Amino acid sequence: MKTRHNDCAISKTTTIKTNLMEILQALTSQTKDDASVVESLANIFSSYRVRFGQSLAPVRLASGKPTR
């Protein structure tokens, strides 16, 4: 939907808040083809303005001291 304000068009967008895991779960529930899932993710990232929150901050996946 566009509204007129001072003789210029302003586009109103809808923000969808989700996380990568939910997107992956939704896509994999539709197909078991990994190539289609990757292609769909690539399409989402190239077609929409995607912003990542702090949920992608580094996390430790194993207990104990990190190996170097």
Give which of 20, 16, 26 is closest to 49, Cα–Cα.
Answer: 16
Long-range pairs for 32-38: beta carbons < 8 A, 24 or more residues apart: none
Q: Digits of tens for pLDDT over the chain (68 positions)?
A: 455 555 555 556 777 788 888 888 999 999 999 999 999 999 988 888 877 766 655 555 565 665 66
* Structure tokens, 36: 């289609």
Model confidence pTM above 0.85 = no
Residue 55 confidence (pLDDT): 62
* Structure tokens, 14: 């809808």
7-21 burial, b for 16+ CB within 10 Å, e for fewer?
A: eeeeeeeeeeeeeee
Per residue in 11-21, pLDDT (tens digit) is 567 777 888 88
